Structure 1
Amino acid sequence: MTGSAVFLINVLSTWYMVGVIWTVQLVHYKLFNRIGSEQFVGYEKAHCNAMSFVVIPAMLPELASSIWLAFATPTGLSNWAMSIGLVAVILIWVSTFALQVPCHQRLTCQFTETDYRRLVGTNWIRTVLWSFRGMLTAYGLLQLIGDPL
């Protein structure tokens, strides 16, 4: 696989996740407290199962391509930008498994306002990081196409 193909995978998977994370942050999570406590546990379990099929096919290639790009940066791309992009991906994964997954796990047993607020609040970490990654990939695209003006 060429470096250009790996970068394309990185750009596509990152921007896919930018769209997903903003939708989750502004739509899905904002509506969680409107489900009702009696139906919430079943809804949360279904949400977690369904979202796995949405995010895993993008998060894994994003991680793999970020590692590749940081250690074998293709000509025309900034190594520092690709390295910072990898750090951002690692922070996203750490946030996911240290903060959001535990909230989801507790919420699959019982809705609590504390876990709900913690989930929505800490998810801003991933929202900001994925948005930043999107900007980094846009910067990389500009590097590859040069100055179009």
Structure 2
Amino acid sequence: MMVAIIWIVQILHYPTFLFIDKERYTEFQQFHMNKISYIIVPLMLGELISGLSILFTVENVQFSFYVSLSLLILIWLITGLFFTKFHSKLTKKFSHNTILRLIRLNWIRTVFWTIRLALLL
């Protein structure tokens, strides 16, 4: 599920940030963070909880599962270390450079989630 969402965010949603009226940008960003959290947080938590539960309850998991779980942990770290700061900064003022950094760095999460899907199929 997250792989589809991250591709929509990467190709459509984040680039749209550049076209939001700068006078209302902080209002938009606060709205975005509030509403997207209802979608993203449960899905990311579900991924993490299910991955950890498999790790601790299933014997003889495949190596690809460990790679996938490692990628998920990296996604969480990248999100926590960078994306929360970028979005927080954007709630205070519009920043073309911050949005471009957000888009560029999000390619890492997009690739990681795509690899996870391939590994889990």
What TM-score comes out, normalization by structure 2 length? 0.93
Alignment CA distance shift 1:73-1:84 (3 Å): farther
- Paired residue for 1:124? 107
Please state if 1:28 is matched with 2:21.
no
In structure 1, C-alpha distance between the alignment counterparts of 2:97 and 2:83, rounded to whole Å: 13
Say which SS state the counterpart of residue 58 (structure 2) adopts.
coil
- Paired residue for 1:142? none
- Paired residue for 1:63? 48
Runs of 4+ in 1 over 6 A off after TM superposition: none
What residue ranges of structure 1 are gaps of 5+ in the alignment?
1-15, 139-149
What residue ranges of structure 2 are gaps of 5+ in the alignment?
none
User: Bigger relative contact order, structure 1 or 2, given CA contacts below 8 A and separation 6+?
Assistant: 2
After TM superposition, list the pairs within 5 Å mapping 1:108-119 onto structure 2: 108-119=91-102
What TM-score comes out, normalization by structure 1 length? 0.77
Amino-acid identity (%): 35
In structure 1, C-alpha distance between the alignment counterparts of 2:84 and 2:107, rounded to whole Å: 14
The answer (yes or no) to whether the contact 1:73–1:82 under 8 Å persists in 2 is: no
Corresponding letter in the other structure for 1:50: K
Q: Tell me by how many angstroms 1:114 deviates.
A: 1.4
In structure 2, C-alpha distance between the alignment counterparts of 1:93 and 1:87, rounded to whole Å: 10
User: Out of 92, 95, 103, which is 2:86 matched to?
Assistant: 103
Q: Which has the larger radius of gyration?
A: 1
What is the Cα-based RMSD across aligned positions, in Å?
A: 1.3
Corresponding letter in the other structure for 2:32: H
